[in-house]
Structure 1
């Protein structure tokens, strides 16, 4: 059985990770700073992972139990949903990946158990498993499709749907082939996650995403099909600028 001190330290670390803003340009340094600052805690987590199965389960469950308790205290459904978005984002972007860096071969199994417990306790706010290397690999793919992915998910389109595949190919083969295009991708990567997060908090998020699809993304696809690649870039840039103005600065 693990000590209450370890449980409390993990919860405190989870709260601390809310201080970090999820961005490509700072993510690696953020994770390294957390690993250095909490090296002792990660070693304690590793020791628990290599103990009994009960020890691992206790380590994996402490933060999901804490978050479930916090959400249960919120009587207002809308406030609970908004808070859950922040809890989920923090969990998959920082806490789960950081716990996966614990110096133990069992760390991945423990974080997978953590995600499993989270989804059992909060089935309406499910998360997926994440790792530092996985997130960094995602960064390298570029952000041109970040907003598009959110829109397609809201419309129940799969990750390998025609629209996403078309825009990814456009990004990789056209945008990233020029210095200007690289700068566009880089800029989008730094602002798009926050835009999506804020849209998700809107009461009519699904309606907003459908409007983005109809006004911007569907026309972009048609422009690519017609080989009007510069026109597509201009339209997509206009979309991001308008979303940036509305959801970042208003």
Structure 2
């Protein structure tokens, strides 16, 4: 049991080594390497649960390892800004690598373990509201080239995935931005940082207010400019959105 607990801590710590590769062109390869490196741990956990008289007790004990370790590390940080930064980093590690790896094979014990870890993770000092998601969902978003931020904004306003705003902006992206080297560079930057930005926003209590602000400040002006045929002016607003949100939610 103690050896498995240490491996769980290693799983958590190792995620930070891959976090910089949570980008459209790098994530698939990075996750594959991360998962293969730790696959034996998940197999060992499954075997422990299958052979235990009380599998739920095994899951309960193992599920406390990562949250307790992370919480202890956070509690040792005195400065508020550094503490907040560490929490954000830890949350991203969990969302993009740790949880997707644990549930990758969809084994019932591993899914239960992920649920139990999540419940303990979202307690003080983190006091978060993150949710685990699968690798397939994260990678699928990259493959479909989703308008991550615009989609998140529209979802917060109960708009459908095929709403007017999304359809117009997707068409603009594919037919105009992607046709030029400069526009393509903006789109590439967007898809590298947008998933992480959305994860940062979703962890905040006022996420809906933030999305409303993004809608008013960026989405609506883009829509109006496109309706007026001002595609280049729209690109300037689009670029400002990417760089502004990047500064605010990645480097602040």
Give the TM-score taking structure 1 as reference length: 0.75
Query: Does the alignment pair 1:216 with 2:218?
Result: yes
1:110-142: CA deviation from partner (whole Å, max 9, x where unpaired): 212221221245562221121111111222343
Q: Counterpart of 1:38 in 2: which secondary structure?
A: helix
In the other structure, the counterpart of 1:46 is 46
Q: How does 1:173-192 map to 2 (within 5 A)?
A: 173-177=171-175, 179-180=178-179, 183=184, 184-192=186-194
1:159-207: CA deviation from partner (whole Å, max 9, x where unpaired): 634899444222433423565289454441013356678999xxxx999
Q: Separation in 2 of the partners of 1:221 and 1:162?
A: 16
Structure 1, unaligned runs of 5 or more: none
Query: Does the alignment pair 1:117 with 2:120?
Result: yes
Q: Counterpart of 1:125 in 2: which secondary structure?
A: coil
The answer to whether the Cα contact below 8 Å between 2:71 and 2:126 also exists between their aligned partners in 1 is no
Shift of 1:234: 3.8
Q: 108-117 vs 4-13, which deviates more? A: 108-117
Q: Separation in 2 of the partners of 1:62 and 1:235?
A: 45
Give the TM-score taking structure 2 as reference length: 0.75
Cα gap change, 1:126 to 1:38, in 2 (>3 Å): same
Shift of 1:29: 0.7
Q: Separation in 2 of the partners of 1:161 and 1:180?
A: 28
Q: Separation in 2 of the partners of 1:101 and 1:6?
A: 18
Equivalent residues, number? 239
Q: Counterpart of 2:16 in 1: which secondary structure?
A: helix
| Alpha-carbon RMSD | 3.9
Q: How does 1:1-20 map to 2 (within 5 A)?
A: 3-20=1-18
The answer to whether the Cα contact below 8 Å between 2:42 and 2:110 also exists between their aligned partners in 1 is no
Structure 2, unaligned runs of 5 or more: none
Cα gap change, 1:216 to 1:104, in 2 (>3 Å): closer
Shift of 1:44: 1.2
